[in-house]
Amino acid sequence: TGPVMEFNIQTDPEAAKIVFETPGVKIVQIPLEVTHTCLVTPEVTGKLKSFHSRFGTVMVELMYFFEDTYRRVFHFEHPPLHDPLAIAYIINEDLFTTRYFHVDIGMWVVTVEMGVLGETQIY
């Protein structure tokens, strides 16, 4: 991931280009600038533990795994909730303010002058 590409788009730009260019499909992308503000704090893991279920236990274990990784690799005190925010949007899109942009996925060869394969351009 870099300043002009999202991880999944960088990983498979050809598939992303097909998805983003499909006519009539509404695509909502929640950027890292948003997901990095929604963190798994001890209060969040406490609520998950309060379910007293296998689901709650598994979710807490996942959050602790990601917490360790985000602390070591990205220097976050608490891990962000990337995928759960996408699910939250599906459940209740009124929780979010969205803006619509044209998104173009770069399919060019890697050069400094031209950009990078998978580069996301929003205009």
Active site residues: 82
CA dist 6 and 19 (Å) reads 14
Q: Which helix (H) or strand (E) holds 32?
A: helix 32-35
CA dist 72 and 59 (Å) reads 20
Which residue, among 3, 4, 28, 18, has the nearest Cα to 121 in the 3D structure? 4
